[in-house]
A = this chain, B = another copy of it.
């Protein structure tokens, strides 16, 4: 990705566009639509495989693969000898943000807005619940971040890990999972914007971020949830503001069209 990153992304998009929708894709959408429309509700029985074969005009292989896909998505359940059913827990769809959904700066900003809320309370919980091992791990990541010779990728990695350690220190598995989820989606755009805006990697920037991190850590060490909340919110607000400023800058310099 580092070499010819833009070209690789471009080629990949092209490849996706050239892929013709398969029969399994179409069968999936047909079944999915019948569920989303309410015609088939959680627990209700769907047509049999044989009936789908007739209705869709495809082989049983295609129907079975479509069912496998929908079962994996939690929408459908196949019961041997009985038939196909809309899953009782079809409503429990996962929360997903695909890479394609985070393609604009406005998407990144939305994501940062969400992350601000999560990080704020998470830090407060970490202040209440952290262990000494948690604190040591946080310190270690900040030490790595403070090294003068660190490269951008290692810097991003240590930053992400610092936040992941805080999440784990909250002793709430959902925070830990959600922060990891958000982190995965924010790393590529962040690295991209940091590369584009060289000023972001200057010494002044690093010093500001370092202070913010230290303030969070300090509050967590002192077991002060309110201070941790304020420090974390401040840190995330700064990040959000920078992206909003970037958005404003870009929209005021956009080509006329």
Contacts and interface: CB of A to CB of B under 8 A. Distances in A.
A30 interface: no
Contacts of A157: none
Nearest to A111: B174
A94 B181 CA distance: 7
A156 to B, nearest CB: 14
Nearest to A87: B99
A219 to B, nearest CB: 16
A184 B91 contact: yes
Interface in A48-97: 61, 64-66, 68-74, 88-89, 91-97
A135 interface: no
A113 B68 contact: no
A125 interface: yes
Nearest to A118: B117
Nearest to A73: B72
Contacts of A99: 89, 92
A139 interface: no
A177 interface: yes
A122 B114 CA distance: 8
A173 interface: yes
B173 A110 contact: yes
Given A72-B68, A72-B72, A125 B96 contact: no
A16 to B, nearest CB: 10
Nearest to A172: B110
A244 interface: no
A5 to B, nearest CB: 12
Nearest to A15: B79
A185 interface: yes
A174 B110 contact: yes
Given A69-B69, A114-B175, A94 B92 contact: no
A243 B156 CA distance: 38
User: Which residue, A24, A71, A96, A111, has most C-beta atoms of chain B within 10 A?
Assistant: A96
A254 interface: no
30 contacts: A12-B88, A61-B64, A64-B65, A65-B65, A65-B68, A68-B68, A69-B72, A70-B72, A72-B72, A72-B73, A89-B98, A91-B184, A92-B98, A92-B184, A93-B181, A95-B95, A95-B178, A95-B181, A97-B174, A110-B172, A110-B173, A111-B174, A113-B125, A113-B174, A113-B175, A114-B175, A114-B178, A117-B117, A118-B118, A120-B121
